[in-house]
């Protein structure tokens, strides 16, 4: 699941260097709204970078606890294509581009249990590219119930050091525009197994978790998650729900992210760059001597 050319758009710019102006072309990250419709009812508008929209929709609804398992999905339709649940005969990922804004609508059909859960809740969501928890009305509503994360493996520090470079190798849209975040899943020997780019860090995480959900690969107990930018509360929460034992970021974590990681059993690592990093919680998953 790698981004396509729709993630960036060529734009004319005026480039200034040493006081001299010249006409040039540049690439900017694409941001468009995606309307998520669940069982015929509008549920959310998500600001995202087009691409992997079925995965984004599945991951977003999983993080919102609308979906609890892949078996609750009957069909996800994006544009004129659709993604079945593995039992359907027409199991095709539809990310086709249509005229107008039809490609910016994701329609989800679920089993009856989900319909009943939604009927008891009136929450609808509008999110920006920087918001992973918009639409929540109380602090208590931020809390989620999930098993404490399992994962008894350990890895060497040099594997953590290598993750940003390996993630960058899977970021063609960032290389073109410099304006996209990324989330990557790695196995315990540091191999990049899944990557997604988006204007929002949390959207990129939803895309990789959504792919794993649709593949019936949750919980991701043998995976690490690396995000570009900082590690915020919502990033750790999404990892918690997906059963990911280690979350790393190239920048800083927030205090609430650290608190949640400690409680959830997640190893949280920040400032992974230039051969150094900080371990904030559950350091035993990373080997090394104490100085």
Q: Which residues are known to be catalytic?
A: 131
Whole-angstrom Cα distance, residue 162 to residue 274?
10
Q: Provide the token pair at 192.
A: 């990049």
- Report pLDDT digits (tens) over 237-251: 999 999 999 999 999
Backbone φ and ψ of 60, nearest 5°: -65, -45
Q: What is the pTM of this model?
A: 0.83
Domains of the chain from N-terminus onward: 32-142 (no CATH), 157-285 (3.40.140.10)
First to last CA, the chain: 41
- Report pLDDT digits (tens) over 129-153: 445 545 443 334 446 677 899 888 9
- Report pLDDT digits (tens) over 62-120: 999 999 999 999 999 997 665 544 333 233 333 332 223 567 899 999 999 999 888 87
- Report pLDDT digits (tens) over 252-261: 999 999 999 9
Confidence of residue 14 (pLDDT cuts 50, 70, 90): confident
Whole-angstrom Cα distance, residue 47 to residue 64?
16
Q: Does 168 sit behind a cis peptide bond, omega within 30 degrees of 0 on the bond before it? A: no
Provide the 8-state DSSP code for 150: P
- Report pLDDT digits (tens) over 163-196: 999 998 877 655 455 558 899 999 999 999 999 9
Whole-angstrom Cα distance, residue 62 to residue 46?
14
């Amino acid at each position: 699941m790698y981004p396509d050319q729709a993630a960036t758009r060529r734009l004319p710019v005026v480039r200034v260097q040493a006081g001299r102006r010249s006409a040039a072309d540049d690439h900017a990250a694409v941001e468009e709204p995606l309307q998520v419709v669940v069982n015929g009812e509008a549920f959310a508008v998500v600001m995202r970078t087009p691409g992997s929209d079925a995965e984004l929709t599945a991951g977003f609804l999983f993080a919102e606890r609308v979906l609890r398992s892949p078996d609750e999905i009957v069909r996800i339709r994006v544009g004129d294509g659709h993604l079945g649940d593995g039992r359907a005969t027409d199991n095709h990922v539809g990310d086709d581009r249509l005229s107008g804004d039809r490609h910016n609508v994701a329609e989800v059909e679920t089993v009856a249990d989900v319909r009943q859960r939604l009927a008891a809740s009136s929450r609808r969501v509008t999110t920006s590219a920087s918001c992973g928890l918009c639409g929540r009305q109380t602090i208590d509503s931020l809390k989620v119930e999930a098993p404490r994360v399992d994962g008894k493996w350990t890895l060497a520090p040099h594997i953590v050091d290598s993750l940003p470079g390996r993630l960058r190798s899977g970021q063609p849209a960032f290389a073109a525009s410099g304006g996209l975040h990324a989330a990557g899943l790695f196995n315990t020997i540091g191999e990049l197994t899944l990557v997604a780019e988006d204007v929002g860090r949390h959207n990129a995480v939803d895309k990789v978790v959504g792919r794993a959900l649709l593949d019936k690969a949750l919980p991701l107990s043998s995976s690490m998650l690396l995000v570009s930018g900082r590690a915020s509360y919502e990033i750790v929460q999404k990892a918690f729900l997906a059963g990911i034992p280690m979350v790393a970021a190239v920048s800083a974590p927030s205090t609430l992210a650290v608190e949640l990681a400690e409680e959830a059993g997640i190893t949280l690592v920040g400032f992974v760059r230039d051969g150094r990093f900080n371990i904030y919680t559950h350091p035993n998953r990373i080997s090394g001597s104490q100085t």
